[in-house]
């Protein structure tokens, strides 16, 4: 992981204001020295990069009272805390610590749960059972992680850690009661009262997941519209909504994102953060299958047509929305869910419910004539043409798990690309044909479903095939990356994550 290094750290200290304990700091309320720290801590927040540089001192966080510098907020109920972190410099004490800590109060001796990694690589889930009690711990087999996640589910606490790009290793603490209302935050402890240590946190997220009685496709929670630098993994939240927003795709000029919410489509202007409705005329029951043509002139949509028993039908219109949508798929055949255009704009490719099964079809834009490309009783979905039009990438559950596949544009030579325990959906080819980005759902979901609100991974695999690499750890799923979402220069992707707001 490429985080800011020591030289840049000193530049950051000189270029941004140092924040003490009086102002809201990013997603946090305040920063505070916990305990009687000999050297005061401080925080530098980069609003543009959404990163936090924390400096602090303190003695060992182990006995009946702690000392560290804390950047905190308050929360109730269940949560998922996640961040990527790196120490600044070589440090002095091998037991210096960073991570997430959950506390009942800001007192140095309060009950707490602490997901931590140390300067020497030791990774532990630490906890104090009672006020002033000595700390206990569960030691992880992971060492030197830079991704730290701490989740509360009722009275259980789950620490998951990884080296960026790798899978999580988890440790769980059960039957540990804390207040429903707690402080949560990131911290630095130098383990030496005479020394100040620093760490940089990026991609910091506090997620409030769905309630335990959540009803899929009835209950919705809020959304983050995010973009990511694929090379570095650095992410930035552009917009937060209490509504469910879904499926952002980049316009060909790189200036806007198009997303859907509550059946309508919207333009998000990246340079100004302005949001405006995209005029789709009568089509106001759109799902998250809107796709731009390769030349950027046309926008294909899937709108639930009340004249066709409410089934999803495929339409297209100019991307500027200055004329009414034109219907492509014929009524009475079954639901049709758009996923892509051919590079010459003559065909659209979609998942169609025909004869009781969902398979992949193309449809001639001019005539509405359909051609079946796959023929399985299990679900085939998520189809997309390569930029040269030679191949179609898609996902299929035909082997028991949802995996990525490739076939020639005529449906021949269908070849499996991924072979792991995850359920992989929505392959999206970068414009430069170097990478395929996709979302991986947990192994235990129904392979024919892509549900909302799961612990998922964003991954990439080389265009020619190979070993997938994790580029993002997310809470999301349905609506996260349903549509082609690469930036025109192939450097970034846009996606949606979720949290209660």
Query: Is residue 218's pLDDT more than 60?
Result: yes
Model pLDDT, residue 321: 78
Per-residue pLDDT, averaged over 297-301, amounts to 97
Measured distance CA(463)–CA(233) in Å, rounded: 19
- CA count, 13 A, side-chain hemisphere, 192: 12
66-99 confidence digits (pLDDT tens): 999 999 999 999 999 999 999 999 999 999 999 9
Token pair of 396 as six digits: 């299929």
Q: CB of 201 within 8 A of CB of 185?
A: no
- Assign a CATH topology to domain 6-207: Jelly Rolls (2.60.120)
pLDDT band at 307 (very low <50, low <70, confident <90, very high): confident
Per-residue pLDDT, averaged over 364-388, amounts to 98
Residues of the chain with CATH 2.120.10.30: 224-499
Model pLDDT, residue 22: 53
Query: Is residue 105's pLDDT more than 50?
Result: yes
Token pair of 398 as six digits: 């035909």
What integer best gives the mean pLDDT of the chain?
94
Per-residue pLDDT, averaged over 141-163, amounts to 98
First to last CA, the chain: 30
Per-residue pLDDT, averaged over 130-135, amounts to 97
Measured distance CA(487)–CA(466) in Å, rounded: 23
Model pLDDT, residue 320: 86
Per-residue pLDDT, averaged over 159-173, amounts to 98
Query: Is residue 14's pLDDT more than 60?
Result: no
Which residues, other chains included, contact 195 with Cβ-Cβ below 8 Å and sequence gap of 6+? 39, 57, 92, 93
- Assign a CATH topology to domain 224-499: Neuraminidase (2.120.10)
411-452 confidence digits (pLDDT tens): 999 999 999 999 999 999 999 999 999 999 999 999 999 999
Query: Is residue 344's pLDDT more than 60?
Result: yes
DSSP state string for 444-501 = TS-TT---SSEEEEEEEEETT----EEEEEEEE-TTTS-S--B-TTSSEEEEEEEE--
Query: Is residue 9's pLDDT more than 70?
Result: no
β-bridge mates for residue 118, sequence order: 97
The dihedral region occupied by 442, where left means phi > 0, alpha psi between -120 and 50, and beta the remainder, is beta
Residues of the chain with CATH 2.60.120.200: 6-207
Question: How does DSSP classify residue 308?
Answer: G
Measured distance CA(385)–CA(407) in Å, rounded: 10
Of all residues in the chain, the percent with pLDDT exceeding 90 is: 93
The dihedral region occupied by 424, where left means phi > 0, alpha psi between -120 and 50, and beta the remainder, is beta
pLDDT band at 308 (very low <50, low <70, confident <90, very high): confident
- Of 128-132, 309-313, 337-341, the poorest mean pLDDT is in 309-313
Model pLDDT, residue 322: 81
242-294 confidence digits (pLDDT tens): 999 999 999 999 999 999 999 999 999 999 999 999 999 999 999 999 999 99
- Of 297-311, 330-344, 434-448, the poorest mean pLDDT is in 297-311
Model pLDDT, residue 63: 93
Closest by CA to 248, choosing from 426, 472, 494, 460, is: 494
Write out the E strands in 35-194: 42-46, 51-56, 68-76, 79-87, 97-103, 112-118, 123-128, 136-139, 147-153, 156-162, 169-173, 181-189
């Amino acid at each position: 992981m490429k985080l800011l290094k020591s030289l840049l750290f000193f530049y950051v200290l000189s270029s941004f204001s140092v924040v003490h304990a009086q102002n809201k700091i990013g997603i946090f309320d305040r920063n505070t020295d916990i305990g009687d720290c000999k050297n005061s801590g401080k925080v530098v927040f980069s609003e543009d990069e959404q990163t936090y540089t924390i400096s602090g001192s303190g003695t060992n966080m182990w006995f009946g009272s702690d000392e560290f510098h804390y950047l905190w907020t308050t929360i109730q109920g269940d949560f998922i805390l996640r961040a990527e972190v790196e120490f600044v410099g070589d440090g002095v004490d091998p037991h210096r610590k960073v991570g997430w800590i959950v506390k009942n109060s800001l007192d140095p001796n309060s009950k707490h749960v602490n997901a931590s990694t140390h300067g020497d690589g030791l990774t532990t889930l630490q906890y104090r059972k009672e006020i002033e009690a000595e700390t206990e711990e569960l030691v992880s087999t992971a060492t030197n992680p830079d991704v730290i996640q701490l989740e509360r589910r009722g009275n259980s606490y789950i620490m998951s850690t990884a080296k960026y790009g790798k899978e999580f290793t988890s440790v769980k603490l059960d039957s540990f009661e804390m207040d429903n209302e707690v402080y949560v935050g990131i911290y630095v402890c130098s383990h030496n009262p005479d020394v100040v240590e620093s760490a940089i946190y990026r991609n910091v997220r506090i997620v409030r997941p769905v309630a335990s009685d959540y009803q899929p496709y009835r209950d919705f929670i809020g959304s983050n519209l995010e973009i990511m630098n694929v090379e570095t993994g650095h992410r930035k939240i552009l917009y937060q909504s209490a509504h469910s927003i879904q499926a952002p795709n980049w316009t060909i000029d790189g200036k806007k994102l198009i997303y859907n919410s509550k059946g309508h489509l919207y333009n998000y202007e990246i340079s100004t953060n302005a949001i405006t409705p995209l005029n789709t005329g009568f089509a106001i029951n759109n799902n998250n299958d809107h796709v731009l043509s390769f030349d950027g002139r046309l926008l294909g949509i899937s709108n639930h047509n009340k004249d066709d028993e409410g089934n999803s039908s495929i339409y297209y219109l100019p991307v500027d929305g200055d004329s009414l949508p034109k219907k492509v798929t014929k009524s009475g055949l079954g639901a049709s869910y758009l996923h892509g255009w051919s590079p010459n704009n003559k065909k659209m490719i979609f998942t169609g419910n025909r004869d009781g099964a969902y398979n992949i079809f193309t449809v001639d834009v001019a005539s509405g004539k359909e051609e079946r490309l796959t023929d399985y009783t299990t679900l085939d979905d998520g189809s997309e043409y390569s930029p040269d039009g030679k191949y179609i990438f898609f996902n299929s559950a035909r082997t028991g798990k949802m995996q990525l596949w490739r076939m020639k544009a005529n449906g021949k030579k269908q070849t499996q690309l991924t072979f792991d325990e995850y359920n992989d959906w929505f392959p999206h080819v970068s414009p430069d044909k170097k990478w395929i980005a996709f979302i991986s759902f947990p192994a235990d979901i129904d392979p024919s479903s892509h549900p909302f609100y799961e612990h998922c991974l964003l991954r990439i695999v080389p265009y020619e095939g190979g070993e997938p690499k994790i580029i993002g750890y997310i809470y999301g799923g349905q609506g996260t990356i349903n549509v082609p979402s690469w930036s025109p220069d192939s450097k970034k992707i846009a996606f949606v994550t979720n949290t209660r707001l």
